[in-house]
Amino acid sequence: MRHFFQGVSLLLAGLVLCFPLRADDYRIGFLAYRGEARAAAEWQPVLDSLNRALPAHRFTGVFLTQQQLNDELTQGALDFVVTNPAHYVLNRSQGLNWLASYLDPRFGSARESVASALLVRAGSDISTVHQLAGQRVGAVHEQAFGGYLLAAEQLRRQGVGLSALNLQFRGYPVDALIYLLRDGALDAAMVPACTLEQMAEEGLVNTGDFRVLMLQASSPCVRSTPLYPGWSFAAVNVTDEQLLRDITQTLLSLQHNQQALWGAPIRLDEVEQLLRGWQLGQSSEPPWHTLRHVLLGYWQWLAGLMLILLVIALHHVRVTRLLIKRTDERDRLHRLIQSREQELARARQATLLGEMATGLAHELNQPLSAIQAYAQAGELMTAEQNSREVFNHIVEETERGADIIRRFRQWASQPLPGPEAFAPDALCRELAERITPRAGAAGVRIDISAEPGQLLSVQPAVEQILSNLLGNSLDAFERRQQGGWLRLQASAEEEGWKFVVQDNAGGVSPVVIEALGHTLPASRVHGMGIGLMVSYRLARRLGGRLMLANQGKGTRAELFLPKEQ
């Protein structure tokens, strides 16, 4: 038996020698007022130094907002904390033990290294703090030391009542306050001193876009308040004195550019005095103790109240869900009715348009046929070459008119033919040549500006729309019996082609423009305006749009056709 125990002892000793002792894990909470990523980059060298100097222990950093740090401290989830002096004072009831004070390299002092800057935009009309009344002033938290308390204390000393300000606590990170101020969402912002300079060094903002109110004496960073004690490294209920000494020695040995980064703990009398002025950190008993006493003394009443509130909340949820359901159903029915009404209106207009096109075609075919017959007879009867050419032109124009009428009837009731590629500039020149004799007789000058290129669309339909717009302009000139100018433009755009017909013939009635696309509009002066309605319909069927507007002393009609239909 003695040999058995000796063997077990040797085995245990071998296991101890083969496997190293487990390192103790410690969590260090860092106040990340500029966000987790930037805080990690700033404080990671401290973590690395502690892990190198104390290999028997493992230190892990968590980077939290002020409220998150408070919650972690309350839950006992942190072993050490690195934070500003006000946060340290407010949480001393959590068993905090200050080990070292941070010597900010920018100030080189632990006693004077924290301040606040009250910023406005460089172009703002606000030049004094008394002009902040009613203005939107942003801060991160009501207990933020450099981000609110210092600036607010300085405002109180300047006689500015904080109740007169439109204070907005926007939360962390503090960078967001500067962005909101720059973009006009805030009129002023309270931020820790040096934050603006840090963001400028990182290329995030331009310091020239901001101005500081209550500017203090020159220092490495612009500030609006006096300097207060800096940050601290504090233990949280850690009782291992040897570990605390080792951590303190490691911190005191850290240097940056041959300058110490940490120093001995300093007194915080002025910080405590400032907090007393704000009635913070005065209660000797933590707030949760008071809440516990209330809950224990009145739990029956509180339970009954919670039950009543729960019933009311459930009833409210039920009523809200029913209301949302009924509202959705009502909106769906309303949209359905509107859709049906629009379809019915379009069907009525299409039917009316088809009937009118058919009637016009029937009535116009007879006089066109008669004109064509007389022109052909005249061509046969005359022997003069000029007269024969004139009669030949009359025959061609009557045939073209008959073709237009056939297309009217087709477009009113049948699908359009397939799109084909054509040159818009050639079409514009052809249309201009066609109306030149009529324009010359009316004293109208025709200007053409057309870019070269190709458009994939239904050329007869485009020709019909432009012909109708040009004809309307000439009609207006002839009614006025006064000359002018008429422009036809065609230009390629990123999404399609734009055609513009513009004149100085006096404009159209606003009733025509308002009614276009809804009902059959009146013409430019009088009449039924069938051509405008047909043109508007054709443009929509081609996937484009036709817009009409008065401009100056005339009318501007714009036809847009997409590249793909």
DSSP state string for 544-561: -EEEEEEETTEEEEEEEE
pLDDT of 285 above 60 = no
Question: Quick one: what percent of the chain has pLDDT higher than 90?
Answer: 21
pLDDT at 511: 74
- In this structure, which CATH number among 3.90.1150.10, 3.40.50.360, 1.10.287.130, 1.10.240.10 belongs to the domain 318-414? 1.10.287.130
Bridge-partner residues for 172, per DSSP?
A: none
What sign does the CA torsion over 153, 85, 263, 266 have?
positive
Is 157 within 8 Å of 129 (Cβ atoms)?
no
Bridge-partner residues for 496, per DSSP?
A: 562
Domain with CATH 1.10.287.130 in the chain: 318-414
In the predicted model, what is the mean pLDDT of residues 132-137?
92
Residue 230: C-alpha distances to residues 41, 105, 189, 212, 564 (Å): 19, 11, 21, 22, 67
- pLDDT per residue as tens digits for the range 187-202: 999 999 888 888 999 9
Highest mean pLDDT among 37-46, 255-264, 413-422: 37-46
pLDDT of 221 above 80 = yes
pLDDT at 193: 87
Highest mean pLDDT among 35-49, 134-148, 486-500: 486-500
Is 237 within 8 Å of 77 (Cβ atoms)?
no
Question: Quick one: what percent of the chain has pLDDT higher than 70?
Answer: 78
Is 210 within 8 Å of 181 (Cβ atoms)?
yes
User: Left if phi > 0, otherwise alpha if psi is -120 to 50, otherwise beta: which for 453?
Assistant: left
pLDDT band at 14 (very low <50, low <70, confident <90, very high): very low
417-562 is classed in which CATH architecture? Answer: 2-Layer Sandwich (3.30)
In the predicted model, what is the mean pLDDT of residues 451-456?
91
pLDDT at 8: 40
Q: Please identify, in words, the CATH class of the domain defined by 18-109+231-277.
A: alpha beta
pTM of the model: 0.46
- CB burial of residue 323 (10 Å; 0-12, 13-18, 19+): exposed
Tell me the pLDDT of the chain averaged across its residues. Answer: 80
- pLDDT per residue as tens digits for the range 306-346: 999 999 999 999 999 999 999 988 888 888 888 877 777 76
Cα three-residue angle 372-538-344, rounded to 5 degrees: 120
Sequence-distant (≥ 6) Cβ neighbours of residue 191 within 8 angstroms: 116, 117, 119, 140, 146, 147, 174, 177, 178
Domain with CATH 3.30.565.10 in the chain: 417-562
pLDDT at 408: 61
- pLDDT per residue as tens digits for the range 58-83: 999 999 988 888 888 888 899 899 98
256-260, 313-317, 323-327, 449-453: least confident range:
256-260
Q: How many C-beta atoms lie closer than 10 Å to residue 496's C-beta?
A: 17
pLDDT at 370: 65
Residue type, 52: R
In the predicted model, what is the mean pLDDT of residues 467-472?
88
Q: Where are the alpha helices (DSSP H) in 19-160?
A: 36-53, 66-74, 85-90, 150-157
Is 507 within 8 Å of 555 (Cβ atoms)?
yes
Sequence-distant (≥ 6) Cβ neighbours of residue 343 within 8 angstroms: none
137-146, 166-175, 278-287, 496-505: least confident range:
278-287
Which has more confidence, 311 or 8? 311
29-38, 216-225, 389-398: least confident range:
389-398
In the predicted model, what is the mean pLDDT of residues 357-365?
62
pLDDT at 517: 55
Which has more confidence, 485 or 374? 485
Length of the chain: 565
Q: Answer whether CATH 3.30.2130.30 is correct for domain 116-213.
A: no
pLDDT at 350: 64
pLDDT of 217 above 90 = no
d(CA 558, CA 502) in angstroms, rounded, equals: 9
Which has more confidence, 522 or 122? 122
Task: Tell how strand 57-64 and strand 24-31 pair up.
Answer: parallel
- pLDDT per residue as tens digits for the range 375-396: 666 766 776 766 766 667 776 6
Q: Is 427 strand, coil or helix? A: helix
